[in-house]
A and B are shown apart, each in its own frame.
Chain A
Amino acid sequence: MDRGMVIFVGALLTFSSSWLGLILLPYFKLQNEPAYVDPQGQADPYPRPLQGRAAAGRVVYQREGCMYCHSQQVRSEHFGNYWEDGVEKTGADIKRGWGNRRTVSRDYIFDRPTMLGTMRTGPDLSTIGKRNPSYQWHHTHLLNPRTQNGWSIMPSFPWLYTKEKVAGDRSDKALDVGREWTVDPGYRWRPSDSEWQAILVAKREAIVSAYVAGAGGARPADVKAVGDALVADRDGRKRLLDYWLTTREEDYQVVPTGDGDALFEYLVALNKNEVDLPEAKE
Chain B
Amino acid sequence: MVAVASKELTPAERQRFARERAAIDASCRGPVLFLMCSAVFWLVVGSFLAFVASVKLHSPYFLADVSELTFGRARMAHLQAVGIGWASLAVMAAATWQMCRLSRVGLVYPKLVVVGGAAWNVGMVLAVGGVLLGDGQSVEWLDAPPYAPPFFIAGVGIVSASVVATFRRRVERHVYVTQWYILAAVFWFPWLYTVAQLMIFWMPATGVIQPIVNWWFGHNYLGLWMTPVAVGTAYYLIPKIIGRPVYSYYLSIIGFWSLALFYSWAGMHHLIGGPIPAWLASASVVGSMMMFIPVIAAAINHHMTMAGHFHHLRYSPALRFTVFGAVTYTAVSAQGSIEALRNFSQVAHFTHYTVAHAHLGAYGFFTMIMFGLCYYMVPRLTGREWASSTLIRVHFWCAAVGITIYFTGLSIGGWWQGRMLNDPNVPMGNIVNYLLPFLMSRSVAGVLLTAGHLCFATLVVMNVTGWGQGRTGGPTYFTDKAPPARRQTAVAS
Contact = CB atoms under 8 A, between A and B. Distances in A.
B61 A187 contact: yes
29 contacts: A14-B264, A19-B264, A22-B212, A22-B280, A22-B283, A23-B213, A29-B277, A63-B72, A63-B73, A63-B135, A69-B72, A79-B273, A80-B421, A82-B422, A92-B424, A107-B275, A111-B210, A118-B354, A119-B350, A120-B350, A121-B432, A149-B429, A152-B429, A152-B432, A153-B56, A155-B60, A156-B61, A186-B65, A188-B61
Interface string A16-45: 011101110011011111000000000000
Interface centre among A10, A65, A149 (most CB of B within 10 A): A65
A136 B72 CA distance: 23
B180 interface: yes
Interface in B125-143: 134-140, 143
Interface string B186-216: 0110011001000110001111111111101
Contact of A22 (B224, B267, B435): B267
A122 B205 CA distance: 28
Contacts of B57: 121, 153
Contacts of A75: 273-274
B276 interface: yes
A8 B187 contact: yes
B58 to A, nearest CB: 7
Contact of B208 (A8, A116, A159): A116
Contacts of B171: none
B93 interface: no
Contacts of A21: 265, 283
B47 interface: no
A61 B138 contact: yes
Given A14-B257, A23-B212, A64 B429 contact: no
B175 A113 contact: no
A187 B207 contact: no
Contacts of A3: 175
B432 A109 contact: no
B79 to A, nearest CB: 9
Interface residues of A, number: 83
Interface of A: 3-4, 7-8, 10-12, 14-15, 17-19, 21-23, 26-27, 29-33, 61-69, 71, 73, 75-76, 79-84, 92, 95-96, 102-123, 145-146, 149, 151-159, 184-188
B271 interface: yes
A55 B192 CA distance: 29
A102 B72 CA distance: 26
B207 A108 contact: yes
B260 A10 contact: yes
B412 interface: no
B208 to A, nearest CB: 5
B209 A155 contact: no
Interface string B257-281: 1001100110110110111110010
A151 B423 CA distance: 19
B138 to A, nearest CB: 4
B217 to A, nearest CB: 10
B274 to A, nearest CB: 5
Interface of B: 56-58, 60-61, 64-65, 67, 70-73, 75-76, 134-140, 143, 167-168, 175, 180, 183-184, 187-188, 191-192, 195, 199-200, 204-214, 216, 220, 224, 257, 260-261, 264-265, 267-268, 270-271, 273-277, 280, 283-284, 287, 346-347, 349-352, 354-355, 419, 421-425, 428-429, 432-433, 435-436, 439
Given A82-B419, A96-B424, A69 B71 contact: yes
Contact of B216 (A23, A107, A110): A23
Nearest to B280: A26
A220 to B, nearest CB: 38
A245 to B, nearest CB: 16
A118 B76 CA distance: 13
Nearest to B343: A81
B422 A92 contact: yes
A14 B261 contact: yes
A31 B71 CA distance: 34
Interface centre among A67, A152, A157 (most CB of B within 10 A): A67
4 shortest A-B CB distances, which residue pairs? A65-B72, A18-B264, A108-B207, A95-B424
B183 A11 contact: yes
A186 B65 CA distance: 6
A92 B429 contact: no
A204 B436 CA distance: 40
A186 B276 contact: no
A68 B204 CA distance: 21
